[in-house]
Amino acid sequence: MLAQRLLVTPAQRVPWRRVPRYAPALRHTSSEAGENNTGHISTSPSEGIIFFNNLLPLNAQWYHRLTGLLDRRRFSVLQDHAKFERIGAVSPTKVVHDAVQGSKLGLGHIEVVEVLPRVNEAGAFLKFSHDAATDAATVAEAVRQHLLAHSVRPWWNPFTSVRASLVLGRPWVEDLFRLPSKRVKVEFLPSQPGAEAAELNQEQLYTFFRPYGKLADIVAQPSDSKVVPRYAYLDFSRTGKAIMAKNCLHGYTVPSGQGGGSSGTILQVTYEKKQRSGWAKDWIFNHPRITIPLLAALVAGITVAIFDPIRTFSIRTHITRTFHLEDNVVFRWFKTQSEDLINRVKQFRHGMDTNDAGMQVVWDDRKGEIEQIQSWLMETADTFIIVQGPRGSGKRELVVDHALAHKRAAHRVLVVDCKPIQEARGDASTIAAAAAQVGYRPVFSWMNNISGLMDLAAQGMTGVKAGFSETLENQLSKIWNNTATALKSIALENRKKDDKDANLSDDEYLEAHPECRPVVVIDNFLHKNSEDGASLVYDKLADAAARWTTTNIAHVIFLTNDVSFSKSLSKALPDRVFRQIALRDSSLDTAKRYVIQHLDFSTTEEKVSGQDGEEERKLTPSQKRKDLKELDDVIPLLGGRLTDLEFLARRIKAGETPSKAVHEIIDQSSSEILKMFLLLGSDSREWTPQQAWSLVRSLASSETLRYNEVLMQDSYGSGGDKALAALEQAELITVNSLNGRPYSIKPGKPVYQPAFKRLVDDKVLSAKMDLALLSESIGAENKSIDKYEQELHLLGKLPKQPGELETRIRWLLGKILTSQTKIETYEKDAAGLKKILASEY
């Protein structure tokens, strides 16, 4: 297709921006991919190309990436010369026309052949023809001088201006999705196949590229690099300068006189994306010992600034029950209307009656302890209140349901149960359990495992831990610290500015008003304290409780089964005297009344009519039963432990007689003792079956044993104190103390006394365990004889026997005789026990 030509002469005058007069004469079939989509612009010796930049905004490059329907509209604009020249900052055709008219260089016949827009580079190529008397460089210089004299500044960027330069090489006109950048890559290619290209040095590159704009840096290819073709990077100060250099010098052949080698070197110029954030990324990855701890500190700071207030608010609402369903007005109305249904649900959930009718006898018996706790809460002493008692003695009900009833009504009681915290497996589960007890949310316990892996990777890279993961100790400290903040806010919530003591500080106010402090009840303290890792949880909780108490933000009550609680709590408060209440089993009279009231609770009374048809009296279940007289005989066997009494009442209510129910309970306790302490030995236990059996046999005949007398037995020859402490922790026995010194041993439960007798009465079991005790005693005596004989053998090797050794020798011989006599006695007893085992089932 022949292109129409437009002759531009000085006689023609074209108004500014009125391009349509010349547009019909231009050839505008070329697209952004060059003529016929070849990627190049063909020129004859009498033709030249000028590149104009800054015709469009560079930030409109997104338009070039659109596809589909928008692509059609874009191409319609790009292929229509008139439309393209209207949307640009200036019309390239008009610039050439004005430059030719105003030039003093004596330009001849000049024709504008076509304009190829470059939207991706915010410019355009203008192809023109000239006569023999004029060269392309003269025309380009005239255009450049015209733009310098008549500066054109785009409205979208008034700090830049339109520039034009002669294209020296063979431009590659492509429509790829490549964005211009300040950095260009210059590759050195041979001018013909088989030839060798010359690598231009920095000075030569500067000579070729500096006329197009200020260069920031020239980076040559490393000399030891094996990459071919050879290349160099040039960084321009502005992207527009790089665009101009790339379009004007791409495909330029450097002659031999200018350093291009014998056959010349072609410059291939392409954009190279320079990562602006590369230096930051490189610095971060090259300095992990600095950046990783900084990142960990940043994460910790964000966590404290954002999540800590949320967690403190969550703990506060957990204590005050702000969003609790049972405190809602509508829910309370429904609860009032259906009290019986709610009680049945709670009975099914907790396995016991929630009403206090069945326990009223016990609370009346312990009214003194309840009043004592309430009076302590009104005092300012900064120490712990400790309620200690065996399992099933009703510690939690006594404190939470009765002593703190007024505090619970005001929603100022926080109950922390140590049992789920201690029984959790793994650090993440322990953190989640501790957070659940106080309402600490959100808690990302699962992140601790991921952070641990990140710390391990960082330690492998840097040699030190980064601090992403926190230890269990630090996590627990965070939970208790947030709890302290919430407790203090609750303690101060009723303080007003117009109070008579408004001039006091917060600490002084809390010290002067102990009734304003909330109460923290720590239940199951020292639960399974012998297990590994449990001491950390208890120590951190005791330290936190000490801070809450000494800073007067809360009263702290510990509920524990362990009699050695003072060892753990004294570490947290070494200079305080604890306030203690020791709960014991109920008296026999109270136990009997408890069972009777438990039978009469929530049952329908029966009306009995007289002979005249009138109602005479009402019979309760306990009055209708004739076998309750047996309670006077069986209650002493069972004792006053509440859990055992409740079990007895349930069995009687199910239809069993008191005697049969107690015998069943004794049999069950005997089976538990046999399984847990006598038959199954384990290396992890701190006692032996022989040690447990010696206590069972002794306590079966005597309700109380002397502590030191037990330690003198053969089975407790070494580590006796430790074994007794472990057996007390396992609740086989109870050790009583006087002035801090253990002095007596009793069964762990009252029901254990008849259970011990039941086990001892079993001839086969008694013979088996006694035989094990005798075997242990025989072994101990044999060891003693071996020790004495070794000493005698040593003395016998002396060349002379001094007279001073006669007393020692007679003593050793006497010891051997005594041990041998014991062994013979033990063997006779063992023979009788073996006969029992051989004849009895």
402 shares a domain with 361: yes
Residue 520 forms part of a structural domain = yes
Q: Check residue 384 and give its pLDDT.
A: 92
Confidence of residue 199 (pLDDT cuts 50, 70, 90): very high
- How many angstroms separate the CA atoms of 735 and 725, rounded? 8
Q: Lowest mean pLDDT: which of 65-69, 459-463, 488-492?
A: 65-69
Contact 34, 40 (CB under 8 A): yes
Kindly report, residue by residue over 374-423, the tens digit of the pLDDT.
999 988 878 899 998 888 788 888 898 888 988 888 888 999 999 899 88
| Residue found by looking up tokens 């500080």 in the block | 505
pLDDT at 13: 35
Spatial CB neighbours of 585, under 8 Å, sequence gap ≥ 6: 390, 393, 591, 639, 640, 641, 750
pLDDT band at 659 (very low <50, low <70, confident <90, very high): confident
Better-scored residue on pLDDT, 472 or 574: 574
Pick the more confident residue, 676 or 76.
Answer: 676
The amino acid present at 684, given as its one-letter code, is S
pLDDT at 11: 35
Which among 133, 166, 199 is the end of a domain? 166
- Residue where the block lists tokens 């929530």: 602
* Residue 651 belongs to a domain: no
For residue 8, list its beta bridge partners: 110
* Cα–Cα distance list, 96 to 16, 45, 112, 122, 145 (Å): 12, 19, 8, 18, 11
pLDDT of residue 175: 80
Is the pLDDT at 629 greater than 50? The verdict is yes
Does some domain include residue 486? yes
Query: Hey, which of 12-21, 220-229, 270-279, 560-569 has the most confident mean pLDDT?
Result: 220-229
| Choice between 483 and 563, residue whose per-residue pLDDT is larger | 483
pLDDT value for 278: 63
Same domain, 261 and 404: no
69-78, 111-120, 234-243, 489-498, range with greatest mean pLDDT: 234-243
* CB hemisphere CA count around 192 (13 angstroms): 5
Question: Quick one: which of 448, 456, 450 has its CA closest to 472?
Answer: 448
The pLDDT confidence band at residue 462, using thresholds 50, 70 and 90, is: low
The 10 Å Cβ neighbour count of residue 452 is 17
Q: With 60 as the cut, is the pLDDT of residue 77 above it?
A: no
Number of domains in the chain: 4
More confident residue, 476 or 295: 476
Model pTM score: 0.61
- Residue 670, domain member (yes or no): no
Same domain (yes/no): 257, 400? no
* Alpha helices by DSSP H, 639-719: 642-653, 658-673, 689-701, 707-711
Helix (H) or strand (E) holding 118: strand 110-118
Q: Using a pLDDT cut of 70, give the percent of the chain over it.
A: 80
User: Residue 704 — φ and ψ, nearest 5°?
Assistant: -135, 135
Per-residue pLDDT at 31 exceeds 70: no
Distance in angstroms (rounded) separating the CA atoms of residues 137 and 725:
106
Q: 819 lies in a domain?
A: yes
Residue-wise pLDDT tens digits, 253-294:
999 989 988 889 999 999 998 766 566 777 777 777 777 777
| Separation of alpha carbons 545 and 523, rounded Å | 13
Q: Tokens for 759? A: 């086990």
Ramachandran class of 275: left when φ > 0, alpha when ψ lies in -120 to 50, beta otherwise: beta
**φ/ψ (deg, to 5) at 265:** -130, 130
User: Do 265 and 313 share a domain, yes or no?
Assistant: no
Q: Which domain holds residue 191?
A: 183-274
Indicate if the pLDDT at residue 28 is higher than 70. Answer: no
pLDDT of residue 522: 94
- 207 and 64 inside one domain: no
Is 173 a member of any domain? no
Same domain as 192, residue 156: no
DSSP 789-808: HHHHHHHHTSSS--GGGHHH
What CATH number is attached to the domain comprising 266? 3.30.70.330
Q: Which of 562, 582, 602 is the last residue of a domain?
A: 582
Q: Summarize the confidence of residues 592-619 as an average pLDDT.
A: 61
Alpha carbon separation from 89 to 163, 374, 631 (Å, rounded) = 11, 88, 110
Cα-Cα-Cα-Cα dihedral sign, residues 498, 501, 504, 505:
negative
Q: How far apart are CA 374 and CA 403, in angstroms?
A: 6
> How does the average pLDDT of the chain come out, rounded?
81
| Peptide bond before residue 442 is cis, with ω within 30 degrees of 0 | yes
User: Are 393 and 456 contained in the same domain?
Assistant: yes
Q: Is residue 610 pLDDT above 90, yes or no?
A: no
Least reliable range by pLDDT among 10-14, 160-164, 802-806: 10-14
**Distance between CA atoms of residues 322 and 209, nearest Å:** 74
Least confidently predicted of 57-66, 238-247, 584-593: 57-66
Examine the pLDDT at 792 and tell me if it is beyond 70: yes
Final residue belonging to a domain, choices 524, 556, 582 = 582
Task: Write down the pLDDT at residue 512.
Answer: 87
Question: How far apart, in whole angstroms, are the C-alpha atoms of residue 542 and residue 550?
Answer: 12
In sequence order, the 6+-apart residues with CB closer than 8 A to the CB of 132 are 46
Residues 161 and 188 in one domain: no
Tokens representing 805 are: 């050794």
CATH of the domain at 377: 3.40.50.300
Same domain as 534, residue 454 = yes
Q: Which helix (H) or strand (E) holds 816?
A: helix 806-839
**pLDDT higher than threshold 90 for residue 305:** no
62 falls in which pLDDT band (50, 70, 90)? low
Asked whether residue 710 is domain-assigned, the answer is no
Tokens 């304003």, located at residue: 516
The pLDDT-based confidence of 23 (bands split at 50, 70, 90) is very low
The angle at the Cα of 89, spanning 87 to 93, to the nearest 5 degrees, equals 85
What pLDDT does residue 262 have? 87
Residues 49 and 86 in one domain: yes
- Asked if 90 and 55 touch (Cβ cutoff 8 Å), the reply is yes
Q: Could you tell me how far CA 170 lies from the centroid of its own chain?
A: 62
pLDDT for residue 788 is more than 90:
yes
**Of 11 and 482, the one with more pLDDT:** 482
Say whether both 435 and 465 belong to one domain: yes
Within this chain, do residues 70 and 213 fall inside the same structural domain, yes or no?
Answer: no
pLDDT of residue 268: 95
Instruction: End-to-end CA distance of the chain: give it in Å, rounded.
Output: 120
Phi, psi angles (nearest 5°) of residue 166: -75, 135
Output the CA–CA distances (angstroms, integers) from residue 139 to 41, 81, 143, 779, in the order listed.
18, 22, 6, 121
Assigned domain for 603 exists: no
- Which pLDDT value is given to residue 251? 94
Query: Which strands make up the sheet holding 519-525, listed edge to edge?
Result: 413-417, 519-525, 555-560, 385-388, 579-582
Q: Is the pLDDT score of 343 beyond 70?
A: no
Of 694-698, 734-738, 837-841, least confident by mean pLDDT is 734-738
Chain centroid offset of residue 417 CA = 21
C-beta separation of 43 from 127 below 8 A: yes
